């Protein structure tokens, strides 16, 4: 099998109608914050137990085609001694891994950030691939104000995403490209649309420069919406219209799947917005799906509370959210479905 055949097979397995991606790739600081909210200490054992709960949820494969894992997870096992990665792969769920090393300020560019981790990336990808990973994820973040992100910040982040994607494809790994325009702030829907359009334009120009095959890229972007502190809250239909307008202008039809991040939205809000996007654009050239982290896991954490005895209800909470988002991916979600079990 050639690298091209390998990449195509992975994309086809990820981009399935009626399914999405579970993002379970929280870094150690991030999962510590999530655990702190339910008064659970972030120990290696607790993290292993929680992720085992996620990955072994019965019938998860009916709604989830792929899981993004954190590097630590690749070496962990279930209570029965089965590698967590095998618990996914045995059910046809594609394994991926977060490969970036987090963000920090972009030097001499106040207000902009950049993501680290390109050094040694090829070697790490080879190791992760030997552990079963078939795709990777890299996130760049863009804060919004009246002055930033700047042209320099947008350009530097696009170049980094493209370099990462090129290294992935060279090693037979499908890259998930995640340019996230943050929801933090009081910016308007229109301002988010302008920034998202500039970001997406730069990202695809950079991908072309680096000879990245768009047919073998999964895009994980933000939806176009107002900042969380903005006084006017847009409706799901308004968010859908703004999002689709920007993406029709910027995203080539060659991209097989756009898997939106949930980025600060509540679980129900993320599902409603995804549904509105699909309901208003049923003939999209892309699969319009989800790659949610907190919007899938928040109800799970609340049900789990670090106690094994609540594992069943926690897994049911995960399956419910996965099922509702699968319905939203088909434009068939209704708010009344939130009352179901």
**What confidence tens digit (pLDDT) does each residue in 146-155 have?**
899 999 999 9
pLDDT tens-digit series, residues 236-293? 999 999 999 999 999 999 999 999 999 999 999 999 999 999 999 888 999 999 999 9
For residue 281, the model assigns a pLDDT of: 87
Q: Catalytic residue at 12? A: no
Residues in the chain: 341
- Does residue 149 have a cis peptide bond before it, meaning omega lies within 30 degrees of 0? yes
CATH superfamily of 3-330: Aldolase class I (3.20.20.70)
d(CA 217, CA 17): 17
Q: Is the CB of residue 311 less than 8 Å from the CB of residue 50? A: no
Indicate which residue of 137, 178, 180, 320 is catalytic.
Answer: 178
Low-confidence ranges of the chain (pLDDT < 50): none
For residue 316, the model assigns a pLDDT of: 96
**Domain positions in the chain:** 3-330
For residue 60, the model assigns a pLDDT of: 97
Q: Catalytic residue at 220? A: yes
Indicate which residue of 19, 129, 220, 320 is catalytic.
Answer: 220
Name the token pair of 131: 């552990």
d(CA 172, CA 303): 38
For residue 310, the model assigns a pLDDT of: 57
Which residue is associated with the tokens 């209704």? 334
pTM over 0.85: yes
């Amino acid at each position: 099998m050639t690298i091209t055949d390998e990449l195509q097979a992975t994309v086809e397995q990820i981009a399935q109608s009626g399914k999405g991606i579970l993002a379970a790739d929280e870094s150690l600081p991030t999962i510590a914050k999530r655990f702190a909210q339910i008064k659970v200490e972030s120990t290696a054992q607790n993290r292993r137990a929680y992720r085992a709960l996620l990955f072994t949820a019965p019938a998860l494969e009916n709604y989830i085609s792929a899981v993004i894992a954190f590097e630590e997870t690749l070496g962990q096992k279930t209570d029965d001694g089965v590698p967590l990665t095998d618990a996914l792969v045995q059910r046809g769920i594609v394994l991926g891994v977060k490969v970036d090393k987090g963000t920090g300020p972009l030097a001499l560019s106040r207000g902009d950030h950049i993501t680290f981790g390109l050094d040694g990336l090829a070697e790490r990808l080879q190791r992760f691939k030997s552990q079963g990973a078939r795709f990777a994820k890299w996130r760049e973040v863009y804060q919004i104000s009246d002055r930033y992100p700047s042209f320099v910040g947008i350009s530097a982040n696009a170049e980094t995403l493209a370099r990462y994607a090129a290294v992935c494809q060279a090693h037979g790994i499908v890259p998930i490209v995640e340019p996230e325009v943050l929801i933090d702030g009081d910016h308007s829907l229109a301002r988010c649309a302008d920034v998202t359009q500039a970001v997406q334009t730069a990202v695809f120009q950079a991908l072309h420069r680096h000879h990245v095959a768009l047919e073998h890229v999964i895009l994980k972007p933000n939806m176009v919406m107002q900042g969380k502190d903005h006084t006017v809250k847009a409706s799901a239909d308004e968010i859908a219209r703004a999002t689709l307008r920007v993406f029709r202008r910027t995203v080539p039809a060659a991209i097989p799947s756009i898997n939106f991040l949930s980025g600060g939205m509540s679980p129900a809000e993320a599902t409603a917005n995804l549904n509105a996007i699909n309901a208003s654009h049923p003939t999209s050239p892309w699969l319009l799906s989800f790659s949610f982290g907190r919007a899938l896991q928040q109800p799970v954490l609340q049900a789990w509370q670090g106690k094994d005895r609540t594992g069943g209800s926690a897994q049911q909470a995960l399956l419910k959210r996965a099922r509702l988002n699968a319905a939203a991916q088909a434009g068939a979600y209704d708010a009344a479905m939130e009352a179901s079990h």
